[in-house]
């Protein structure tokens, strides 16, 4: 089942790219394996996938030592500052930087471990109370403030769009994020070139790719529904 799901998602991404005139290599698939066992990750790895997304530090720490070394782990969920030290040298990217304090902590721990961590800034485009993220109008100030920190490299923007029945309803969210990244690149802030746009999940990744996503974070369509009660 995992192989069918995985190859279905891969071919759907290809088809969407083709239909909107994008090169398929410009969209990276992040297989979101949160709550799923290491065996499921290994299965999808064996199909060729190397980039996986997790939203909890503990799960990265559990899976990291028992799975192949060349997996690129992306931390996509809310990150508490006191847990940064456990993962700065394990993850290929942190998608969820949304406070100066968190950015400073990543910087400090990265310098300590002599690594540079690629990060994305999480943006709360729709300004939902239930979501983490910087507001669009505060983004430039925020990025300018953290751009001087050593040990972290600001690569782009990330958003978790609202839950909607019709993915078309999120088109405006994705478009706003893309526009903002162009806007900020035009400001020529030192050390800042936003090239990545992490947006789109199982429900809305087609629309996100059409609007310029360079990374899509897909869980359910690959691994099936999650059961949080076990």
Q: Would you say 108 or 217 has its CB closer to ligand PLP?
A: 217
Distance in Å, CB of 148 to ligand PLP, minimum = 27
Q: Would you say 80 or 114 has its CB closer to ligand PLP?
A: 80
Distance in Å, CB of 34 to ligand PLP, minimum = 6
Q: Would you say 76 or 146 has its CB closer to ligand PLP?
A: 76
Distance in Å, CB of 111 to ligand PLP, minimum = 27
Binding site for ligand PLP (CB under 6 A): 32, 34, 55, 76-77, 160, 201-203, 217-220
Residue 94: φ, ψ to 5°: -110, 120
- Residues 221 and 30: beta-carbon distance below 8 Å: no
Radius of gyration of the chain (CA): 17
Q: Would you say 87 or 149 has its CB closer to ligand PLP?
A: 87
Distance in Å, CB of 47 to ligand PLP, minimum = 17
The Cα–Cα gap between 172 and 158 comes to 15
Q: What is the DSSP track for 4-39?
A: HHHHHHHHHHHHHHHHTT--GGGSEEEEE-TTS-HH
The Cα–Cα gap between 88 and 183 comes to 29
């Amino acid at each position: 089942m995992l192989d069918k799901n995985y190859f279905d998602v891969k071919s759907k991404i290809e088809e969407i790219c083709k239909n909107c005139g994008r090169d398929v290599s410009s969209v990276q698939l992040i297989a979101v394996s949160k709550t799923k066992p290491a065996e499921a990750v290994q299965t999808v790895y064996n199909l060729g996938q190397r980039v996986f997304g997790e939203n909890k530090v503990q799960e990265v720490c559990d899976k990291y030592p028992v799975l192949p070394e060349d997996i690129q782990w992306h931390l996509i969920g809310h990150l508490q500052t006191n847990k940064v030290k456990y993962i700065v040298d394990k993850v290929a990217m942190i998608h969820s930087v949304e406070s100066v304090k968190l950015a400073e902590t990543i910087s400090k721990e990265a310098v300590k471990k002599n690594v540079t961590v690629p990060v994305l800034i999480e943006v709360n485009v729709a300004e939902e109370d239930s979501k983490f993220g910087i507001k669009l109008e505060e983004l430039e100030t925020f990025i300018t403030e953290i751009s001087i920190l050593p040990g972290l490299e600001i690569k782009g923007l990330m958003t978790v769009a609202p839950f909607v029945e019709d993915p078309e309803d999120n088109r405006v969210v994705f478009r706003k994020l893309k526009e903002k990244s162009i806007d900020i690149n035009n400001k020529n802030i030192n050390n800042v070139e936003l090239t990545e746009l992490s947006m789109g999940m199982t429900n809305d990744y087609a629309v996100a790719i059409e609007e310029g996503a360079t990374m899509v974070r897909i869980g359910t369509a690959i691994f099936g529904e999650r059961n949080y009660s076990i």
